[in-house]
Amino acid sequence: MSNSIRSRILILAILMALSCRSAIADSPIQLSLFDPIQLRPASESITGIRLSLLYGKNQNMTGLDFGLVNHLTGDAVAFQWGAVGYVEGDFTGWQDNIVNITKGSFLGLQGGTVNYSKSCEGVQWGLVNYTTKMHGVQVGFINYAGTMNGLQIGIANIIGSGGFMPIFPIINWSF
């Protein structure tokens, strides 16, 4: 991905963080070693910057989220970077961890070794990409979508329902 696109996504995440109405109620900064040894309790939302040295846990995140293990029990509108990103709710933005897990809907770019989302609208870029409902592009060695409206590029491309073929190498699609 080009630096221009990365810069635009980062600027978008910052602007969303600054324009968020709940920003007044949320904490602007979080620093954690591991939960519960962190500045703000896990039940609070962060609108600003979160740095999780080992493991950070919060409700929602809007802004920049960095750390070894980043855990959210709610939703995220963010740029997230680290080893493991685990979001129990919905994610909007760019999730760039070694392992990305979004239990809810994902909108944006997931880039990592393993990418998982319940549903995805955007791009999954990694070695293994998995979603039950895809609207966009998957690029990786193994791509799986339960249903697909888009394109898969990889060694093994699997579309559970519909698609050019249920399993097809190099490229598979469903429009």
Section 113-132 average pLDDT: 98
Under 8 Å between Cβ of 82 and 2:
no
Distance, CA of 54 to CA of 95 (rounded, Å): 18
Single-letter amino acid, residue 93: G
Looking at per-residue confidence, does 126 or 26 come out higher? 126
Can you tell me the distance from the alpha carbon of 64 to that of 50, in angstroms, rounded to the nearest whole number? Answer: 6
CA distances to 75, 81, 131, 135, 139 from 124, in Å: 19, 15, 9, 10, 6
CB count within 10 Å of CB 96 equals 19
When pLDDT is cut at 50, 70 and 90, the band that residue 5 belongs to is low
Look up tokens 């994902």; give the residue: 106
pLDDT in tens, 152-166: 999 999 999 988 899
Q: For residue 3, how many other CB atoms are within 10 A of its CB?
A: 7
Q: Map out the domains of the chain as residue ranges.
A: 1-89, 108-175
pLDDT in tens, 8-65: 665 555 555 555 544 457 999 999 999 999 999 999 999 999 999 999 999 999 999 9
Residue scoring higher pLDDT (45 or 3): 45
16 contact partners, CB below 8 Å, separation of at least 6 = 62, 63, 77, 92, 93
pTM, entire model: 0.85
> Using the 8-state DSSP alphabet, how is residue 42 labeled?
T
Task: Report the pLDDT value the prediction gives residue 163, as an integer from 0 to 100.
Answer: 82
Strand ranges, E, within 13-90: 27-34, 37-38, 46-58, 61-72, 76-87
- Across the chain, mean pLDDT equals 91
Residue 175 to residue 166: CA distance in whole angstroms: 14
